Amino acid sequence: MPLVIAIDGPAASGKGTLAKRLATHYGLPHLDTGLLYRAVAFALIQSGLSLEDRAAAARAAETLDAGSLTDTRLRDRAMGEAASQISAVPEVRAALLAWQRRFAADPAGAVLDGRDIGTVVCPAASVKLFITASSLERARRRHRELAGRGEAASLEGILADIEARDARDSSRSAAPLRMADDAVRLDTTELDAAAAFDEARAIIERARATIG
């Protein structure tokens, strides 16, 4: 039976780092679904179009090229904010849903991380994890990440952005951020990447033993 690992959680909770480590450990393909929304937002910005142009956003999502996901500019802080706006557009989410499900249908399985993987994209996933951490700790992590890339940003500003994004992601009408009923919550506030990986792997192995 394919091993599909669905990982959800808010921004800077550590889900992306964890997902990559788990994919490597289990030899599975990994998809950071947030990059899809960043790529759509980037395409609009590059074309001089408004992020509020729903028709243009839907077209960009429908014609998304997988090769565009490797552009390093998608990791910029501004793209994260733009992606949060784009992800609230139902037409964009609908266009990208089939894309994500095709990825998850790999015969061996897959690891996907995002905000609606366990609830919408892969509701029948083998294992569902909801990764979280305090908003302050998440802001500290993002601050360190940006500083490491040479991007200037204040901790206070990042914290405000994260809290605003949490509110936007949780209150949107289309696939809001929430923990699936059968997901396991993993709070990484006090955990480093290695400890979070060990905890997640233990959860996955218990689930696999139950599945058989």
Q: Which residues fall in the annotated binding site for ATP?
A: 9-17
Radius of gyration of the chain, Cα coordinates, nearest whole angstrom? 17
Two structure tokens written together for 121? 């994209």
DSSP 16-39: HHHHHHHHHHHT--EEETHHHHHH
In DSSP terms, 131 is beta-bridged to 186
Structure tokens at 110: 């897959």
**d(C-alpha 199, C-alpha 36), whole Å:** 28
Q: Do residues 126 and 3 lie in contact, with contact meaning Cβ atoms separated by under 8 Å?
A: yes
How far apart are the C-alpha atoms of 196 and 210, rounded to whole Å? 21
